[in-house]
Amino acid sequence: MVKKTRTVCTSCHQRCGAIVFSEGNRITRIEGDYNSPYSKGAFCGSGITQRFIHEDENRVTHPMKRVGKRGEGKWQQISWDEALDMLASETTRIKENYGCESIVVAQGTSRTTNDWGKRLKATIGNIGWGLAPVHVCLIPNIMPNVFTLGAGQMHGADVAHAKTIVLWGINPISILSEVKSIQKNRDENGAKVIVVDPRFTDLAKDADIFMQIRPGTDGALSLGLMNVIIEEELYDKDFIDKWTLGFDELAEMVKEWTPEKTSKVTWIPKEQIIEAARMMGGNKPTTIYPMLGPGCMHTNAVQSGRALTCLIGLLGPLDVPGGFVYIPGSGAIMKPELTLEPEGWDYNSPDAKLIGAQDHPAFAAFGQANVPYDTFEAVITERPWPIKMMVFVANDALNCYEAPQKTYEALTSPNLDFLVVKDFYMTPTAQLADLVLPSSDWSERDTVDEEVFKGRVISSPRAVDPPGECWDDWKFFLEWGKRLNPELWPWKDEKEMVLWRIKLNYGLDLTWEEYVEKAYIDTPASTSALSFKKYETGQLRPDGMPGFMTPSGKIDFFSEIMPHFGYEPLPVYHEPKESPYSTPELAKEYPLILMTGFRLYSFFHSAWTNVPGQRELYPYPFVLINPKDATSKNILDGDWVDISSPRGTIKAKASVSEEIAKGVVALPRPGWRSECKELGLPGYNWDEVCINVLIPGGGDTTDPGFSTAPMRSTLCKIEKRRSK
Ligand SMILES: Nc1nc2c(c(=O)[nH]1)N[C@H]1C(S)=C(S)[C@@H](COP(=O)(O)OP(=O)(O)OC[C@H]3O[C@@H](n4cnc5c(=O)[nH]c(N)nc54)[C@H](O)[C@@H]3O)O[C@H]1N2
Ligand SMILES: Nc1nc2c(c(=O)[nH]1)N[C@H]1C(S)=C(S)[C@@H](COP(=O)(O)OP(=O)(O)OC[C@H]3O[C@@H](n4cnc5c(=O)[nH]c(N)nc54)[C@H](O)[C@@H]3O)O[C@H]1N2
Ligand code: SF4
Ligand SMILES: [Mo]
């Protein structure tokens, strides 16, 4: 009999509505759900391959403990009971002997367990994230949004109603459901589109203006655009007078950022800068949609983000249709009742016991985590304290963090007593573990983090049962938590956790059947974005006063709080720490700018390189290089090349293309490939192809206040390889 289940795909952050058809425990077909108010029927090839993943015999399907030497590949299947006993006894032993700060629980990008992971850590005694790539993933942009605009969200761009849409360092993959709105607005209302990217993206193809920027110079471009907008008085004086702080200081500062100077720094022709500024200031409402590109992976990340948010403020009025819209309650919901985070907890205080907090004060306050590089170093040096146990849930550390050479040294160090990895497959990190735990994927589980649906609750029941003993990460945290402190983990199963959580977050008191049946449930958070200029009516502040949730209550062009974290109060531009201009000597040997990690349609970070439907789109690790740079090195399209930085060398196939600016090479995420037996394609080790081998870590290589690693603006060189 065919069973039809309406659920949600979580293979990427889009969280598209899915209809899964199954017979017995086999998935026979998957379709997009047109009734999903969020994805409206959109569905992609990656989501469809869930059919394969569900049946894939290469999945880890049982808990396994290491029996040989670490990394030797000898495993013994054990029961969940035994695995959890090991985990709980090691947690207790290490906590008693070394303190809770010697246990690090890590996660990758948001999957579905952000708040439960925090609760587990708090159960051990650790407050915060433990370890996560938040130093590079969007938080360096969210912080400037909070300080300048008083918005806890980056995503406020109303692309459906804007007259000018600026897509700034954003990949169409990450906004699939909004691409349709952009196209519709352009086709039906003649909206103008500006794209700012070093790469000629699929969004740039249809843009009115494409500014091919030098990586890491977005702060300078924002200052240059503000120069023209202020010079030509293309701003709303009433709004600026009434609702902003520090306009005069900002105007004075951007005077030196003439189109000529901005062009020299950013490599964008000055005529384009002037044209773009006139379009943004003259064809309003203008909305700017930034993602990782501008301010998340550079040594000047936070100040670039600040400059961009000042530009958004300057283009006000804000919170209008077609502009930057405030969505209260749309950020990740982190209620202290769930995370067990004490009220007013100070992540910067030594009591918080976060590694790197004193050196990177903004990261401690906003990232709420240990600084990744410093944490791996702490494993090796046992300073500032020993790290004895690491648990990675949905985080392939060797493929995720900068300088994986250091990560590898840490994970194979005799100082580390116990390494646990919970994943779908035997990833490079899992291969080094003492305990590997099997995981269920979206079609096989009942849980979802509904806050990503802009405050709407959408249920996500399982369509099929997981293979073997694969467990939902929610269930894993529940059972581990129960063994440590049952009072803090009173639920019977993950369904009870789901219902408790929606009651806590949205006041909804539902049975499981009602929750599944109702499917899409609006909440005050999901409807609040429908009202505008909320700052006039006191809807943005908890005290109910008009204004924004910034220290001054206004848009803070001049931020008194920034110096607190080691930054200037105005958004000063700093050249990336490694560049042809800041390190000209180094640039003689490494003349090209290195940008790593732009997203590909079929891979989600390092996952799915083994899945034939996904791997066949990008069979080999590859690097984008401009024809002019390739010619000078005799490199032809498809040649294997070595890409080297002062940190190391990796290999990739050259993709010679105008897609990338001259002088820049771009390596997509993940670089790494697992073997794909079905297509007869080989695997490549992380140390041969992982893009992060080229990226520096620690010391003064990062954004000073935030520890952001320069994954998108350092130097490299490229040579044709003699062998494959
Ligand atoms: N398929 C797929 N989807 C994903 C992911 C995935 O791995 N695969 N990852 C998810 C995650 S965790 C995240 S954080 C998001 C990221 O989502 P996005 O930020 O939208 O995606 P990226 O491709 O990483 O980066 C966006 C663009 O920035 C450009 N860029 C690089 N350097 C610069 C620069 O210095 N300035 C400017 N202006 N642009 C620059 C790149 O060329 C790229 O086109 O994607 C999410 N969605
Ligand atoms: N050089 C460079 N490095 C980057 C980036 C870049 O652009 N350039 N991007 C950075 C960013 S923004 C981010 S967010 C990080 C992301 O880094 P991560 O999220 O850690 O990504 P991965 O390294 O692919 O590791 C994720 C692992 O989780 C597994 N997994 C996926 N879903 C689940 C699940 O539901 N449960 C369990 N148990 N396992 C699951 C996957 O199989 C995969 O092995 O990478 C960062 N690293
Ligand atoms: S993988 Fe594809 S179908 Fe699944 S949520 Fe992402 S975009 Fe939607
Ligand atoms: Mo991310």
Residue ranges of the chain assigned to CATH 2.20.25.90: 2-55
Looking at every residue in the chain, the average pLDDT score rounds to 95
Provide the token pair at 37.
Answer: 């108010």
Residues of the chain with CATH 3.40.50.740: 64-138+333-451+457-521
> pLDDT tens, 153-162?
878 899 999 9
What pLDDT is attached to residue 330?
53
What is the band of 531 on the pLDDT scale with cuts at 50, 70, 90? confident
pLDDT per position as a tens digit, 324-348: 998 876 555 688 999 999 988 999 9
Average pLDDT over residues 718-724: 87
pLDDT of residue 156: 87
**Domain covering 2-55 in this structure, CATH number:** 2.20.25.90
Q: Which of 471, 605, 615, 716 to mutate to test the pocket of ligand 2 (most atoms within 8 A of CB)?
A: 605
Q: What ligand has the least distance to the C-alpha of 691?
A: 2
Contact 30, 47 (CB under 8 A): yes
| Range list for CATH 3.40.228.10 in the chain | 149-329+541-565
pLDDT tops 90 at residue 196: yes
pLDDT of res. 528: 66
Å from CA of 315 to ligand 1 middle? 24
- Angle, vertex CA 691, rays to CA 685 and CA 696, nearest 5: 120
Going by CA atoms, what residue is nearest to atom 8 of ligand 3?
Answer: 16
The H or E element spanning position 293 is helix 292-295
Taking the C-alpha atoms of residue 281 and residue 316, their distance in angstroms, rounded to an integer, is 9
Cβ distance 576 to 299 under 8 Å? yes
Q: The CATH number of 584-720 is which of 1.10.260.40, 2.40.40.20, 3.40.50.620, 1.10.510.10?
A: 2.40.40.20
Q: What is the pLDDT of residues 658-698, one digit of tens each?
A: 999 999 999 999 999 999 999 999 999 999 999 999 999 99
Atom from ligand 3 closest to the CA of residue 15? 5
- The strand order across the sheet containing 64-66 reads 75-77, 64-66, 435-438, 418-423, 389-393, 103-107
d(CA 612, CA 617) in angstroms, rounded, equals 9
Atom in ligand 2 nearest the alpha carbon of residue 398: 23
What's the pLDDT at 723? 74
Quick one: pLDDT at residue 456?
85
Res. 126: pLDDT tops 90:
yes
Among 19, 43, 460, which is best to mutate for testing ligand 3, by the most ligand atoms less than 8 A from CB?
A: 43
pLDDT tens digits for range 395-413: 999 999 999 999 999 999 9
For atom 47 of ligand 2, the residue with the nearest CA is 400
| Smallest-distance ligand from the CA of 220 | 1
* 451 alpha carbon, distance to own chain's centre: 16
- Confidence category of residue 542, pLDDT binned at 50, 70, 90: confident
Between the two ends of the chain, the Cα-to-Cα distance in Å is 50
pLDDT tens sequence across 54-100: 999 999 999 999 999 999 999 999 999 999 999 999 999 999 999 99
Q: What is the pLDDT of residue 2?
A: 96
Architecture of domain 149-329+541-565: 3-Layer(aba) Sandwich (3.40)
Q: Which two tokens stand for residue 167?
A: 């897509």
Angle at which helices 494-506 and 473-484 cross, to 10°: 90
This prediction's pTM: 0.97
pLDDT for position 333: 67
Q: Is the peptide bond before 361 cis (omega within 30 degrees of 0)?
A: no
Residue nearest to atom 19 of ligand 2 (CA): 108
Q: What is the pLDDT of residue 524?
A: 75
Q: Establish whether residue 291 lines the binding site of ligand 1, counting it when its CB lies within 6 angstroms of any ligand atom.
A: yes
Write the CA distances from 596 to 367, 644, 665, integer angstroms. 22, 13, 8
Residues of the chain with CATH 2.40.40.20: 584-720
Instruction: Note the pLDDT tens digit of each residue in 626-642.
Output: 999 999 999 999 999 99
- My answer on whether omega of the bond before 317 falls inside 30° of 0, hence cis, is yes
- Tell me, using a 6 A CB cutoff, whether residue 173 lines ligand 3: no
Can you give the pLDDT at residue 526? Answer: 74
Indicate the angle between helix axes 259-266 and 270-282, nearest 10 degrees: 110
The answer to whether the CB of 15 is under 6 A from ligand 3 is yes
pLDDT at 229 over 90: yes
The yes or no reply on domain 64-138+333-451+457-521 and CATH 3.40.50.150 is no
From CA 138, how far away is CA 615, in angstroms rounded? 27
Q: Which of 110, 168, 174 to mutate to test the pocket of ligand 1 (most atoms within 8 A of CB)?
A: 174
Please state the atom number of ligand 1 nearest to the C-alpha of residue 292: 19
